[in-house]
Chain A
């Protein structure tokens, strides 16, 4: 039988013409309104051209008419799964420009929130990409466990998704009295659940066949395309901003930067699973040692940045977020640019997905962890 199929494939008998297919904008595996114009021959992908901009909201233009304390409130609409890191990026940029240092307590709170947010984001990525690959059960487990983190957020700052917790100079409110107890309870619980995640998917032979050796991105290409975050690190590109340009409380703690070698879908998967363990490890080091003190600096009513250019890099759940502020000394910025991780990551897809089947394109997109508002901004 196999020989007959082989014979058909090698001869021109079943050769078809190239044709174009729109994948999206309303497609479940694009996780938002992204349109991929896919050039196919049979089910082999020859070219992928991403068309973005369906939810372009002009955040960079809007910031030019806002004051610095107002800008963070827009940024959590960019990458809504890393809302707190986006807020923090702008706040750190403003604080560095003003050359002020926030109290130690704020640094610790921000870092714990960062890592909780990273966990919540990776949980959603885990369950949604499981669903992309045909494992629907994972979706329910992931969302169930993410709920615990969102409840912790809600108790402290009142919001579950768009936190707006960090402001230039500090945080808005002090942590809730239950915060430490609940985070510790969550860590104990989640440490038992994480091995279940592995049992459910990582060890599954069908899952491994769909991901191992599929969609390989080399280290050189990852650097050239600016692919960062877990996706870039799976290719061996050491790009963790927390390690290379530490901010907030990251200089005080010990953690490993997970770097992979293979650069295939399975490695990207494995790396995010390892990062979840690392995040738990980081929170454990901080949660009992939050120093007492102020929760915010006394800032002036009108925040004016000195003239010049300021750049701040922050590691979100998806990769390196850069905030580039050009200031002319007024209360509004002259120009703000967000270098979003999803934007650079997305456009490496054409390079990777060539000559793979269309089902593999879904696997590649799932392990790239795309969030569309992050790309469109």
Chain B
């Protein structure tokens, strides 16, 4: 599908989502309550068939923390960037997509480790790189008096 057809298809099926053309890929913001059903559907829908999650990253914006999923369909050769936001900075929670794409399990471990986002129903959420004495380094309000020297 071309990006226009994708926008058309998605906005009809999911009126709550906001789709726009980004610099390279089509970007769509999904409410976090809808995230898991949306992801499940775009993978199983034969017209979309997004079967390859090639990147999953977390970004800390001033107003919310965002998880960005880069998706590709190896069959149709189209791309989609899905974004989900969570405003709660104390205990941010999103639904896991590890049951849809197994690779997400470890990307989500990494996001939990570095940004502190908890994932619902994740099979084995653990800190991947750092130990528990660290905070969440990729948060913008991260201060570490022990390991970081500020000039």
Q: Hey, which bits of chain A sit against chain B, CB under 8 A?
A: 52-53, 56, 58, 60-61, 97, 221, 223-226, 228, 237-239, 244, 308-311, 313, 320, 322, 324, 326, 334-335, 337, 339, 343-344, 347, 351, 376
Contact = CB atoms under 8 A, between A and B. Distances in A.
B18 interface: no
Given A52-B128, A223-B51, A322-B70, A337 B57 contact: yes
Interface stretch (B8-16, B31-39, B98-106): B98-106
Contact of B55 (A97, A225, A238, A322): A322
Contacts of A228: 54
A215 to B, nearest CB: 17
Contact of A226 (B103, B114, B129): B103
Contacts of A313: 54
Interface string B59-100: 110000000101000100100010000000000000000000
Given A320-B54, A326-B59, A61 B103 contact: no
Contacts, number: 78
B-side interface size class: 20 to 34
Contacts of A221: 102
Given A225-B102, A339-B54, A308 B23 contact: yes
A221 B52 CA distance: 10
A237 B23 CA distance: 27
Contacts of A344: 103, 106
A64 to B, nearest CB: 8
Given A226-B52, A324-B68, A308 B22 contact: yes
Contacts of A308: 22-23
A324 B103 contact: no
B68 A343 contact: no
The residue in A225, A237, A244 that gathers the most chain B C-beta atoms within 10 A of its C-beta is A225
A52 B59 CA distance: 22
A337 B70 CA distance: 12
A335 B137 contact: no
B138 interface: yes
Contacts of B55: 311, 322, 324, 337, 339
16 contacts: A52-B128, A61-B114, A225-B102, A226-B101, A226-B103, A244-B77, A309-B23, A309-B27, A310-B24, A311-B55, A311-B70, A320-B54, A324-B57, A344-B106, A347-B105, A351-B102
Contact of B128 (A53, A61, A322): A53
Contact of A225 (B23, B70, B77, B103): B103
B51 A311 contact: no
A237 B137 CA distance: 35
Contacts of A239: 74
Nearest to B105: A347
B25 A347 contact: no
B130 interface: yes
B53 interface: yes
A322 B25 CA distance: 14
Contacts of A237: 74
The residue in B24, B103, B114 that gathers the most chain A C-beta atoms within 10 A of its C-beta is B103
A311 B59 CA distance: 14
Nearest to A220: B51
Given A52-B129, A56-B130, 16 more contacts: A52-B128, A56-B129, A58-B137, A223-B74, A224-B103, A226-B53, A226-B101, A308-B22, A308-B23, A309-B27, A309-B68, A310-B24, A311-B24, A324-B68, A337-B57, A343-B110
B129 A335 contact: no
A164 to B, nearest CB: 25
A224 B138 contact: no
Given A237-B74, A308-B23, A322-B70, A335 B103 contact: no
B25 A311 contact: yes
A225 B130 CA distance: 23
Contacts of B57: 324, 335, 337, 339
The residue in B60, B68, B77 that gathers the most chain A C-beta atoms within 10 A of its C-beta is B68
Contact of A60 (B52, B81, B103, B138): B138
A114 B81 CA distance: 29
B137 A61 contact: yes
